[in-house]
């Protein structure tokens, strides 16, 4: 490709709203352009890079026996109503009515669509196992798109789906994906770790996420360096201790201006672990049958030295959404903000109690009266509720496995795998007949990778103060050929020799200064740069630099340039493939 013909142009300055380094460089280098919030066009450089990522994914999916198909972005709402997700998913799913008056949706994932197909194709154990995948557009009306392709509303995703007779078969397919995903990210040269995760709206009990660790990430990853325990903070746990002693009688005490746990502990001269903290939320619950919404007040009770993890609270009550409760909503249920507790609350309040409170005695809690608290409150005697783990696992807490100190870091989710079980097959009547003639629900798994997000993470990982520096396996071109001579015929010959040898070349044939050409080469970040200058050309040589090491200049004979570049490209590729990791997964890990 000649630079004089390239559709996009490079930008000297970052456009407004470029809130991360990788996003800035993808914009400035002409890989992407924004149409609206969370909506981007892939320009030729960006499209070629994602096409290469997609090809790596295809090769690895084909290797584990998956068959590629393509399902529609536009789904009839009927199949989503069968699973109840038409009603349970909030405004992130876009719904519309077609000209015939039928409810339709833009698919944000394809479990319903693939199950709809499978129930017509799979009728016997002889048709199992099956594994299919697609690379397709999705739409999720995210309220807070950010960081370019990191968090968008329209995105391209690889999603695969497995179908099996039993749990053993699902475990085999899950293990294949677990290993394959590491190969995919390794071949793209993106460092990732795997963490235990929440299944969320997908359903199922076992799930893992593949995380690229970066300060721009929105997920918090909790890790133990001693034993290797790793989990998304949404589900991470830690080893708790409890205040066990004989229960004492309730006692109401005056606690003026003590609306926070810290103020209360200081006033009573006690540790925060001797208190019970109330968190007031309102949950949205949706009837899967008719889609009717209902809001209910929830009070989460946790020991004062801990914080409530909202994802755990939401999962415990099985709410579709949570929001902080308003003062008037709390008061209407006989509770007092700042001095609240479940004691004396209306009976229709949902009470969720962390086990740190349920297993501790004589904690100080709100008296639901301005300026007063209760000493010696005890779960089970003074109030009841559902007991669950609600606590946020923060750095410094003891590991649940070995008691080592936990650490935390930020990460971007680039892939996920789920064991769905029969969540969708039972809801949609996707059954098979076993060897004994008994109809059983198909066991399913779901596995996803965000293609555009993967490119965005590569742009974050492989960049310096000058621009991008993309790995050879995903860069839009392998070589950036820069001409600084007036005799175009010689450089044209080099360009033809390289391309005829199967090398991907971006040829800067523009009538621009050397400074502009080098700045653009640094910004676009192709792995190898060949510079044809008057001095080197007189010696029958060309200068070569690796984008990853601009301080070193190599020199090659003009006549050998094609063979030398093929060898260099192979060397760079080998350096990546030599680092491929393939850890195994098993159910007992």
Assess whether pLDDT exceeds 90 at residue 444: yes
321 vs 64, which has greater pLDDT? 64
The half-sphere exposure of 544 on its side-chain side, counting CA atoms within 13 A, is: 19
Give the pLDDT score at 289: 67
Assess whether pLDDT exceeds 70 at residue 529: yes
CA angle 109, 113, 119 (to 5 degrees): 140
Give the pLDDT score at 287: 74
Greatest alpha-carbon span in the chain: 97
Give the pLDDT score at 286: 79
What number of other Cβ atoms are within 10 A of residue 63's Cβ? 11
Assess whether pLDDT exceeds 80 at residue 199: no
The percent of residues above 90 in pLDDT, for the chain, comes to 86
**pLDDT band at 97, cuts 50/70/90?**
very high
Q: Which domains does the chain have, with CATH numbers?
A: 19-216+410-460 (3.30.930.10), 251-388 (3.90.960.10), 479-577 (3.40.50.800)
Give the pLDDT score at 317: 93
Assess whether pLDDT exceeds 90 at residue 588: no
Tell me the mean pLDDT in the region 173-190: 96
Assess whether pLDDT exceeds 60 at residue 203: no
Assess whether pLDDT exceeds 90 at residue 141: yes
pLDDT tens-digit series, residues 368-401 = 999 999 999 999 999 999 999 999 999 999 999 9
Residue 370 burial (C-beta neighbours within 10 Å; 0-12, 13-18, 19+): exposed
Q: Which residues pair with 324 in a beta bridge?
A: 281
- Measured CA to CA, the distance from residue 499 to residue 493 in angstroms comes to 10
What number of other Cβ atoms are within 10 A of residue 559's Cβ? 11
Q: Which residues pair with 33 in a beta bridge?
A: 41
Q: What is the pTM of this model?
A: 0.89
Give the pLDDT score at 288: 64
Assess whether pLDDT exceeds 60 at residue 202: no
The mean of the pLDDT values for the chain is 93
What number of other Cβ atoms are within 10 A of residue 35's Cβ? 9
Give the pLDDT score at 198: 72
Tell me the mean pLDDT in the region 284-303: 85
Tell me the mean pLDDT in the region 173-180: 96
Assess whether pLDDT exceeds 60 at residue 412: yes
Assess whether pLDDT exceeds 90 at residue 280: yes
Among 315-319, 447-451, 500-504, 544-548, the least confident range: 315-319
Handedness of CA 468, 472, 474, 480 (dihedral sign): positive
Tell me the mean pLDDT in the region 316-331: 92
DSSP helix/strand/coil, 73: coil
CA distances to 147, 228, 229, 235, 303 from 195, rounded to whole Å, are 23, 10, 9, 10, 27
Assess whether pLDDT exceeds 70 at residue 77: yes
The answer to whether 322 and 307 are in contact (CB under 8 A) is no
CB contact set of 494 (below 8 Å; sequence gap of 6+): 481, 530, 532, 542, 558, 561
**pLDDT band at 201, cuts 50/70/90?**
low
Tokens of 538: 């007189």
Polymer length of the chain = 589
The percent of residues above 70 in pLDDT, for the chain, comes to 98
Give the pLDDT score at 200: 61
Q: Which residues pair with 443 in a beta bridge?
A: 164
Q: What is the dihedral of CA 510, 512, 518, 522, to 10 degrees?
A: -60
CB contact set of 156 (below 8 Å; sequence gap of 6+): 50, 54, 135, 136, 137, 138, 450, 451, 452
Give the pLDDT score at 290: 67
Tokens of 464: 């310096």
Give the pLDDT score at 374: 96
Give the pLDDT score at 88: 84
Assess whether pLDDT exceeds 90 at residue 530: yes
pLDDT tens-digit series, residues 454-493 = 999 999 999 999 999 999 999 999 999 999 998 888 899 9
Tokens of 451: 């293609």
Give the pLDDT score at 205: 72
Which DSSP string do the residues of 219-235 spell out, in sequence order?
EEEEEETTT--EEETTT
């Amino acid at each position: 490709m000649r630079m004089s013909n390239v559709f996009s142009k490079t930008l000297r300055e970052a456009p407004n709203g470029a809130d991360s380094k990788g996003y800035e460089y993808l914009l400035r280098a002409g890989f992407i352009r924004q149409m609206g919030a969370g909506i981007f066009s892939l320009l030729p450089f960006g499209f070629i890079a994602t096409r290469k990522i997609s090809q790596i994914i295809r090769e690895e999916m084909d290797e584990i026996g998956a068959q590629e198909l393509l399902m529609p972005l536009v789904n009839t709402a009927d199949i989503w109503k069968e699973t109840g997700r038409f009603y349970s998913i909030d405004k992130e799913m876009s719904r519309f009515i077609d000209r015939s008056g039928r409810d339709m949706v833009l698919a944000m994932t394809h479990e319903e669509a693939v199950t709809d197909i499978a129930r017509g194709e799979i009728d016997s154990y002889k048709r199992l196992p099956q594994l299919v995948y697609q690379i397709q557009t999705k739409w999720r009306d995210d309220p807070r798109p950010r960081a370019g392709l990191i968090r968008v509303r329209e995105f391209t995703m690889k999603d695969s789906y497995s179908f099996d007779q039993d749990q053993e078969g699902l475990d085999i397919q899950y293990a294949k994906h677990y290993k394959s995903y590491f190969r995919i990210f390794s071949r793209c040269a993106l460092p990732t770790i795997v963490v235990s995760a929440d299944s969320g709206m997908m359903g199922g009990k076992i799930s893992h996420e593949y995380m690229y660790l970066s300060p721009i990430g929105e997920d918090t990853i909790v890790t133990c360096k001693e034993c290797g325990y790793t989990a998304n903070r949404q589900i991470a746990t830690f080893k708790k201790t409890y205040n066990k002693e004989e229960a004492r009688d309730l006692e109401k005490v005056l606690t003026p201006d003590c609306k926070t746990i810290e103020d209360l502990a200081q006033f009573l001269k006690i540790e925060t672990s001797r208190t019970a903290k109330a968190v007031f939320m309102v949950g949205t619950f949706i009837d899967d049958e008719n889609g009717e919404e209902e809001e209910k007040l929830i009070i989460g009770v946790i020991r004062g030295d801990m914080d409530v993890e909202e994802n755990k609270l939401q999962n415990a009550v099985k709410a579709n959404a949570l929001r902080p409760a308003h003062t008037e909503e709390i008061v209407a249920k006989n509770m007092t903000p700042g001095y609240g507790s479940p004691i004396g609350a209306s009976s229709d309040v949902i009470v969720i109690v962390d086990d740190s409170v349920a297993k501790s005695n004589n904690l100080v809690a709100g008296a639901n009266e301005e300026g007063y608290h209760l000493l010696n409150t005890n779960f089970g005697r003074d109030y009841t509720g559902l007991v669950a783990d609600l606590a946020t696992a923060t750095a410094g807490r003891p590991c649940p496995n070995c008691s080592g100190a936990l650490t935390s870091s930020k990460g971007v989710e680039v892939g996920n795998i789920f064991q769905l079980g029969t969540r969708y097959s039972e809801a949609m009547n996707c059954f098979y007949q076993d060897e004994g003639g008994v109809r059983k629900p198909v066991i399913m798994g779901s596995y996803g990778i965000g293609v555009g997000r993967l490119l965005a993470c590569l742009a974050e990982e492989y960049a310096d103060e000058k621009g991008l520096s993309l790995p050879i396996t995903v860069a839009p071109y392998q070589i950036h050929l820069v001409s600084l001579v007036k005799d175009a015929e010689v450089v044209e010959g080099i360009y033809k020799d390289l391309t005829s040898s199967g090398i991907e070349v971006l040829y800067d044939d523009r009538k621009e200064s050397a400074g502009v050409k080098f700045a653009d080469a640094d910004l676009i970040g192709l792995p190898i740069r060949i510079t044809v200058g008057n001095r080197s050309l007189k010696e029958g040589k060309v200068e070569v630099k690796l984008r990853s090491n601009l301080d070193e200049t190599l020199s090659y004979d003009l006549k050998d340039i094609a063979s030398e570049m093929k060898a260099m490209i192979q060397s760079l590729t080998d350096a990546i493939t030599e680092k491929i990791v393939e850890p195994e997964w098993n159910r007992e890990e």
